[in-house]
Amino acid sequence: MVEDKYYTITQAARLTGIKTHVLRYWEREFRWLKPEKNSAGRRVYSVRDVEVIKLIDWLVHKEGYSIAGARKKITTLMRLSNQLDLPLSEVRGDILDMIKRELTEIRDMLEMK
Does the pLDDT at position 76 exceed 90?
A: no
C-alpha distances (whole Å) from 79 to each of 3, 84, 88 are 26, 9, 10
Asked if 39 and 79 touch (Cβ cutoff 8 Å), the reply is: no
On the 0-12 / 13-18 / 19+ scale of CB atoms within 10 A, 21 is exposed
Dihedral angle over CA of 78, 81, 84, 86, nearest 10:
-170
Domain chopping of the chain, boundaries: 6-112
Q: Which residue has the higher pLDDT, 46 or 77?
A: 46
The mean per-residue pLDDT over the stretch 92-113 comes to: 76
Mean pLDDT of the chain: 85
- Which is more confidently placed, 74 or 53? 53
- What is the architecture of the domain spanning 6-112? Orthogonal Bundle (1.10)
CB neighbours of 66 closer than 8 A, spacing ≥ 6? 60
Which range has the worst mean pLDDT, 18-32, 45-59, 68-82? 68-82
Residue 7: the pLDDT is 94
Please give the average per-residue pLDDT across 41-48, as a whole number. Answer: 92
